[in-house]
Amino acid sequence: MQLIVNIIVLSAIYALLACGYVLIYRVSRVLNMAHGEIAMLGAYMLFTSASLFVGNPLTAIAVAVVMSLTIGVLVYVLLMRKMTGEMVLAAILTTIAIGILLRGLIVLIWSAAQQRPLEALGFSNPSIELIGGARISACAALMVIMTAVVYGGLFAFLRFGRWGVRMRAAGQNPLLAAQRGVNLNAIYALAWALSSLSGSIAGMLIALDSGLDQTMVVIGLKAFAPALVGGLDSLIGALLGSLIVAAAEVLAIHYIDPLLSDVVPFLVLIAMLIVRPWGLFGTREELDRV
Amino acid sequence: MTGTLLAIEKLEVVYKRSITAVQGITLAVEAGQIVALLGTNGAGKSTTLRAISGFLGLDDARVTEGTISFKGTRIENRPPHENTRRGIVLVPERDKVFPNLTVAENLVAPVPRGTSHAEHRRREALVYQFFPRLGELKTRIGGLLSGGERQMLALASAIVCRPELLLVDELSLGLAPVVVEDLLRRLIEIRRELGITILIVEQSATVALEIADYGYVMENGRIVLDGTAARLRSHPDIQEFYLGSKSGERRNYRDVKQYRRSRRWYG
Amino acid sequence: MSRAPRASGYFRTSYAQDLALVGTRLERTSLGVFILALLAFPFAASAFQLDLACQVFLACVGALSLMLLTGYAGQISLGHAGLMAAGAFTVGILFRETNAPFWITLPCAALVGALLGIIFGLPSLRLRGLYLAVSTLALHFVVIYLGGEYESRRGFSTGIVIDPPTLGGFAITDGRIWYFILLAAAATTLLLCVNLLRARSGRAWRAIRAHETVAEALGISIAGYKLLAFVISSAITAVAGALFAYYRGFVSVEAFSLFLTIQYLAMVIIGGMGSLLGALLGATFVTLFPYIIETGLLSLPGAQRYASLLFAVNYAGFGFVMILFLIFEPLGLVGIWHRIQSYFLLWPFKHRSASGSR
């Protein structure tokens, strides 16, 4: 039973992070390798705002949320916008570089020591007893709920039909989309803002649950495996992919070898790339008429 | 609708800060006309179209001199979606449809001027009338269409945007003549029923002069000749270099070597 | 691929001239002077500078192999660090288990690299671009995991120590000897790459990078040449890793993180894609970068306070420079160099007309 709870919690983490990758990929074909660092930055924002608004946790959270939206927009407007129209590889490398830059800046501003935003906020993280004797921490439970909320919100927004199609169109042929009246800058900025928000929520919750330090980037990196497994431009895929990868990881740690935790997502990824490179629900992208 | 819709004055376009592709051209498009821009490869025609629709930035090109005015407003170096909102829509030469969306989705994706749902639906119905073949192909993936169908879809998605000025880049490229004929007829229909002004860029002078009212000939970034379609069709130089016949007589290849000297428009 | 612009009067009128490495007299003299300077350097430099130069040469080998794969054949690989780790670990494992001398371990490293190259290269037959990059990244993590497993299983949790290579009973530890060894390694790699690119393989790779479907239609065996690129590149990378192991005398999994791959990618980008000169320039720049930052930082007033932040500043600065190059100068240092050359060649004209010569 505890295993199932662990799987659900881990899938929630992966799903929240994975939808950030999906949003940006869907709209611009770019794999945002800085997603982990942006999530981490969001968590540090929470820590700072918690220290600033002592005794006012709700304000602190609200400020942190607004900041994380701003980060996404800023990263797009200042840096990624210059890369529109360039090769996708160059854009991906730019995100890698942004990730490195952010990591360095974070250490410079906040130092590499572990922070505990939970205490700063004045909350506590009790362990809740569930049926079957399994335990889940309050923050982890909140994570699962937030994942459902975020995904619900995204589905509602994209189910408004036209803009979902337009986001995909912008991803496939940005030039043509612009020629057909789609404001590319606005759509990209929106995608980056939403991605940063969802990533930051994930980062904040992870930080609340288990402390905040540099290891969050690793989780961010591992999370793109579920995004790929499900199909990089499909939200449903991200959800399902997270479930599969989380299940594989938890079971492997439990039954085989705890050291496998960092490798398992990539093994699942390799398997999926061999069998079905575009993932479970992704759009097939091999059309290549000369 | 009368009056000059588009006026270009002494336009100069430079690529990568070092290559001048368009060297000071002046042309005008009257409302309701079909104007053709002719010329061989590398003459600067596509660059001109891109300058008008605002797509130079992506190729690291800029309008460095001259003006482009649409209905009296200067539009050079403006972002593309602004131009689309003004009513200038480009049907590009390559990548003209969304390859992984269905035909129906291709027509949903554009954001027409004055976006109201009802209006958008009406435009969609309209284009299905103009291109009934697309109606049969609603669920086909864009990338899997044949060349002619793709061109139809490209034109259709452009029309959904409610353009006042339609820019068509290389309509006939890679298409069979009978398909091109069909498309040309539809273009004329579109012009007649929707009152859209059309600027068409073509390497095939035969195709262009069939439907154009007025034409400009470009060479090496300059306009070397212009006139009504009738005048161009009967112009001996056009006939020799673009339409392929010197009043029907048989040619000896030895004579062709002299073509560079006998061109009359550099005089 | 970017060809250096030449003044008019220097035309290539035969195939031999086109393939020649140096054409004009200016090129010949400058190359000669450069070689002399390289050979004379160790006798005038301090031990620290010698070490820097050795690091640069090591980086050159890795950068050249990555440039071959990514810059010319167009196969994006994020698994570079994994391949270097494989080479280093081959040396380490062979040394620890069998005490093998370097003239066995180095070829073995190359062989391991080649084998891994086939594995890393297999996805390229089905995948392209982003998906290929991701598959190589995944394989990198697998290799690192295996290395880590070996370390923990055999009790080398802090890494494997390796004795310096011996030649006729004489251990090679002097900085100057290492300088020449690594210089020779870099030069050999450079010549190897140049020749591969001048030959049929080079043309095939460029065709594949430009447009795969068309290349296949022209009769180029896509699968064969892609795998060839991976195999050769990986073998060279593994040898680079092996040399690194011998030079440092130490092998551990932490040295081969994703950041190392990113550094090599930065070398290729900052240097300029599709140019061997770019690989060399990029390798030099990225290797020297941390030291430049360090000197810069320590020369500021109140330097002691910053010393602890050095690593973070390095990191941030590196990311920043990478971004600058990606956004403003995608053609890299080579692009800047060519633009300077163009400027002087075209002067007093500013632009070339589209119908003029190249």
Number of domains in chain C: 1
Residue A290: list chain B partners with CB under 8 A.
none
**Residue range of the domain that includes A186:** 2-214
What is the per-residue pLDDT for B266?
A: 47
ipTM greater than 0.85 = no
Give the pLDDT score at A50: 82
A86 touching chain C per CB within 8 A: yes
Inter-chain CB proximity A175 and B100 less than 8 Å:
no
**Tally of structural domains, chain A:** 1
Contact C350/B18, CB-based, under 8 Å? yes
Cβ neighbours of C133 in A, within 8 Å: 89, 92
CA distance B187 to C290: 62
Candidates C66, C315, C329: best to mutate against A (most CBs of A within 10 A) is: C315
* pLDDT-based confidence at residue A282 (cuts at 50, 70, 90): confident
Task: Judge whether A152 lies within some domain.
Answer: yes
Query: Is A72 buried (19+), middle (13-18) or exposed (0-12) by CB count in 10 A?
Result: buried
Low-confidence ranges of chain C (pLDDT < 50): 1-2, 354-358
d(C-alpha B126, C-alpha B128), whole Å: 5
Which chain C residue lies closest to A103 (C-alpha atoms)?
C316
Provide the CATH topology of domain B4-234.
Rossmann fold (3.40.50)
Q: Which residues fall within 8 angstroms of residue B48, CB to CB, at 6 or more apart?
A: B8, B11, B13, B22, B25, B37, B201, B218
Q: Which chains does chain A touch, 3 or more C-beta pairs < 8 A?
A: B, C
**For A91, nearest residue in chain C (alpha carbons):** C326
Q: How confident is the model over A191-215, as pLDDT tens digits?
A: 999 999 999 999 988 888 887 877 8
Chain B residues lying within 8 Å of A81, measured CB to CB: none
- Report domain extents, chain B: 4-234
C156 lies in some domain: yes
Q: For all residues of chain B together, what is the average pLDDT?
A: 82
Please list every residue in chain B whose beta carbon sits closer than 8 Å to the beta carbon of residue C353.
19-20, 23, 220-221
Q: How confident is the model at residue B261 (pLDDT cuts 50, 70, 90)?
A: very low
Instruction: Report whether C79 contacts C236 (CB < 8 A).
Output: no
Q: Name chain C contacts of B42, Cβ cutoff 8 Å.
A: 354-355
In 3D, which of B163, B161, B160, B157 has the Cα closest to residue B5?
B163
Phi, psi angle pair for B15, to nearest 5°: -95, 140
pLDDT band at A110 (very low <50, low <70, confident <90, very high): confident
User: Nearest CA to CA, how far is B192 from chain A (Å)?
Assistant: 22
What is the C-alpha separation between B232 and B38, in angstroms, rounded? 11
* Measured torsion, CA atoms of residues B36, B38, B41, B47, in degrees rounded to the nearest 10: -50
Instruction: Give the strand pairing for C166-167 and C170-171.
Output: antiparallel
Helices (H), chain A: 2-28, 35-52, 57-74, 88-110, 117-121, 138-158, 162-172, 174-179, 184-210, 216-222, 224-230, 235-255, 264-275
Contact: A182, B81; criterion CB under 8 Å: yes
Closest by CA to C285, choosing from C251, C339, C329, is C329
* In the block, residue with structure tokens 């982890």: A140
By the 10 Å C-beta count (0-12 exposed, 13-18 middle, 19+ buried), A146 is classed as: middle
Residue C277 in any domain: the answer is no
Confidence of residue A288 (pLDDT cuts 50, 70, 90): very low
Parent domain of C152? 28-257
Instruction: Determine which helix (DSSP H) or strand (DSSP E) holds B34, and give its type and residue range.
Output: strand B34-38
Question: Between the CA atoms of C27, C29, C34 and C35, what dihedral angle is there, to the nearest 10 degrees?
Answer: 110
Q: Measured between beta carbons, which residues in chain A are less than 8 angstroms from residue B160?
A: 180
Residue C24 confidence (pLDDT):
74
Short-list C175, C312, C270, C23, CA closest to A90: C270
**What is chain A's Cα-based Rg?**
19
- The tokens for C59 are 């980086």
Q: Which of B79, B100, B161 sits opposite A180 (nearest CB)?
A: B161
Looking at the DSSP bridge assignments, the partners of residue B70 are B6, B73
pLDDT over threshold 90, residue B39: no
The predicted structure's pLDDT at residue A85: 62
Whole-angstrom distance, CA of residue A64 vs CA of residue A237: 29
Do residues A246 and A19 touch, judged by C-beta distance below 8 A?
A: no
Contact C142 A270 (CB under 8 A): yes
Residue of chain B whose alpha carbon sits nearest to that of A166: B109
Residues A95, A99, A100, A101: what is their CA dihedral angle, to the nearest 10 degrees? 90
Over residues A145-201, the pLDDT tens digits come to 999 999 988 887 776 567 778 888 888 888 888 888 888 888 899 899 999 999 999
Domain annotation covers residue C206:
yes
pLDDT category at B246 given cuts 50, 70, 90 is low
